[in-house]
Structure 1
Amino acid sequence: MRKTRSLLAAGLACLVLPLAVPPADASTPMDKRLSFTCPFPLIGKQKLDVEVKASFEVPSAPGGTFTTADLTVAVTVPDKSTRGLALVGAASIEGTASAGVTLANGSLTLPLALPLTVAKTAVPASGAFTTQATGSVPPVRLPNAGRTTLTIGDFSTRLTPKKADGSFTGLGSFTSDCTLDPGQDPVLLSFDLGTSSHDYGVTGSTTLKALGATAPLTGSFTGFSPAFDRTRAEFKVLGFVPGTADLQFSPDGPQTGEPAGDGFVAHAKLALALPQVTLFGLPVADAGCRASAPIPVDLKTGSGFAPASGGPLSGEYPIPPLTGCGAFTAYLSSLLQGPGNTFALTLTAR
């Protein structure tokens, strides 16, 4: 009886496999074949061929959602396993699985547990038969531009053969773990998540509301990521004390966004450093003076923007309290921090 159970387990343990989405355009039906091997007592390793079909939606830009639909996994159960099922009186087979894949999107690495369900399938007296499993990948927001991959991993199945009257066979329910056969590409989906086909130069200004000052800005804008050159704002405290503040805005972490009409919205997160601040021409801040937290700003293209040539881009942002400025940190914070600061920019395609 132990040998019969092992033969049966060998044929059934691989009935469920994880999603295998091949590279393709969005909303396209897909079809891919893979093989997995499951080790079992007495009979050693068993291999089953699997056909996976699915359709999926790939976002056109960072910030969009990756979704999968119509996932079906068809496994051909060989005659050896069918005969093993017959020996224990099994008339049907059903079960579940927990499959592991890894989604990598730029700096994001996200393990996904994919639940799959093996539909109740009639077992013939002999010969091969096919069982179907269904499931889906949960929708995932992809925040980063660049190469995005979905890679297959190991999976575990929990299967239950039953008699014609619905009662359990001598096998009960059993769990088995399977691995992808070597020589197969584990990357099931790979694509470049676009940002923009254009690289822009930047000119414009930023207005610091609390200081009542404006500083010119130059730099570049690639994808959804701005890169500004160091600039200087000139201001007066109490209407007569002259001062200057050097400003350096730089990206802080992933920069995301999405298309909007003929343009886009960039969800920027910027670090702000103030490497030099003066009053009456004398330095009053240490070189490490900076904003104490990243600055979020939504930069939106305006009327007249065209991807091929560029156009206006603007946004409003807060300045958090400063840190690292030395003895005058609290005072300088009171001069700069607060909401209502703005970017008014022009993008020019390069």
Structure 2
Amino acid sequence: MPLRLSVRALLATGLILLLTAAGLLLVAVRGAAASTPVDKKLSFTCPFPLIGLQKLDVEVKADFDIPKQPGGTLTTSGLNIAVTVPDKASRGLTLVGAASIEGTAAAGVTLVNGDAKPLPVKIPLNVAKTSIPPNGTFTTQATGSVPAIKLANPGKTTLTIGDFSTRLTPKKADGSFTGIGAFTSDCTLDPGQDPVLLSFDLANSTTTAYDYAVTGKTTIKALGATAPVTGGFGFTGNSAEQTFSGGPALDKAHAEFRLFGFLPGTADLVYTPAGPQTGELTATGFTAHSRFDLSLPQVTFFGMPVGGGPDCKTSSPATADLRTGEGFAMASGGTLTGTYTLPPLTGCGAFTGYLSSLVQGDGNTFDLALAPRALNR
């Protein structure tokens, strides 16, 4: 009889560990920051026949995506629940003829989204069939399908770990049941732990328009010329996604240069946006992804036109990542700088190849100053 009790006790310990894995699986399933890996360790207490309450430690790993604004969905991926079963349980399960163990579980968490009523969620889980060694530890894995949850309300949103239950079955090598049969246990989270797996503020998306006057300069490295730049920079930002649409709209610039260091020349420069202009807001300013065509409507040597025209422009758009500098503030403006590469020119007439050699290449720069137009009125 004492031996029989010991075997059952050991088996219960192994089952309880698996049960905890399933419970934590659900917990992991329900929470974490957007595209953020989560690794959480918690302890649960589970009652078992003959051996009473048992304390189990389980590790949960998962990746979670949270929506950027109300109306989006909370999703889970990469969930893995690992439970290490101790040597004592392995030996006990072996004594009753068990060669493997498998089963199911039901775990629960509570979702609170803004001022909405708390929503309890139960998730069915599967404990994968796991071979039991005659002695030593072994690790079980639990998985489950987690539905996406729509978060309709703004405000603080939390996922809180709850209790769980499991039903596991040890089996012999031939797949038949042992004398113990299936085992069921209901487990509770031990006190003194933080039950919140995920907590974040879900804000309503707001849009804000910004409009700046632009002054500064651009340098064409190959040409060895620097041209004054004026114009505007307008965009509309999305506070929830920290993105914006819009960008620079520059006036025609006029560059003066000297070929070979002494032959005077001029070039008109027209920067035309090519497609949608986008960017990201940051804690201190923003980064704009500017995409544009550069046109040269007129190029002169010694005051005489030698090329250019309405079709003279870069053969493909150029791009520049323009970043605000230190001390920039959305309300008061500041500096905006970036570099860009110019593709070869096309459509510039008989001197297209030569003119292209004067401007194409990398290392070109923008050095701009932005001032809110409202401050200039």
Same fold (TM over 0.5): yes
In the other structure, the counterpart of 1:20 is: 27
| Per-residue deviation, residues 128-179 of structure 1 (Å, max 9, x unmatched) | 1110111243100001111100011110101011111111111111211111
In the other structure, the counterpart of 1:161 is: 170
Distance 1:24 1:154 in 2: 18
Task: Verify the 8 A CA contact 1:97 1:156 in the aligned structure 2.
Answer: yes
Structure-to-structure mapping, 1:280-299, within 5 angstroms: none
In the other structure, the counterpart of 1:145 is: 154
* 1:90 shift after superposition: 0.5
* 1:6 shift after superposition: 3.4
CA separation of 1:23 and 1:154: change in aligned 2, threshold 3 A: closer
| Per-residue deviation, residues 232-291 of structure 1 (Å, max 9, x unmatched) | xxxxxxxxxxxxxxxxxxxxxxxxxx97x959xxxxxxxxxxxxxxxxxxxxxxxxxxxx
Percent identity of equivalent pairs: 67
Distance 2:176 2:149 in 1: 40
TM-score by length of 2: 0.51
Task: Verify the 8 A CA contact 1:68 1:136 in the aligned structure 2.
Answer: no
Task: Verify the 8 A CA contact 1:14 1:38 in the aligned structure 2.
Answer: no
Structure 1 unpaired stretches of 5+: 201-222, 225-257, 264-306, 310-350
1:9 pairs, out of 12, 16, 26, with: 12
Worse-superposed segment, 184-193 or 15-24: 15-24
In the other structure, the counterpart of 1:250 is: none
Distance 1:54 1:148 in 2: 19
Mark the structure with the bigger radius of gyration. 2
Distance 1:24 1:138 in 2: 15
In the other structure, the counterpart of 2:79 is: 71
Distance 1:73 1:24 in 2: 15
Structure-to-structure mapping, 1:66-215, within 5 angstroms: 66-108=74-116, 109-196=118-205
Query: How many pairs are equivalent?
Result: 213
Q: Secondary structure at the match of 1:20?
A: helix
Task: Verify the 8 A CA contact 2:81 2:143 in the aligned structure 1.
Answer: yes
Q: Secondary structure at the match of 1:188?
A: strand
Counterpart of 2:16, as a letter, is A
Distance 2:156 2:175 in 1: 49
Distance 1:13 1:114 in 2: 18
Structure-to-structure mapping, 1:211-230, within 5 angstroms: none
TM-score by length of 1: 0.55
Counterpart of 1:139, as a letter, is A
Q: Which has the higher helix share?
A: 2
In the other structure, the counterpart of 2:338 is: none
* 1:23 shift after superposition: 7.2
Counterpart of 2:27, as a letter, is A
Q: Secondary structure at the match of 1:13?
A: helix
Q: Secondary structure at the match of 2:111?
A: strand
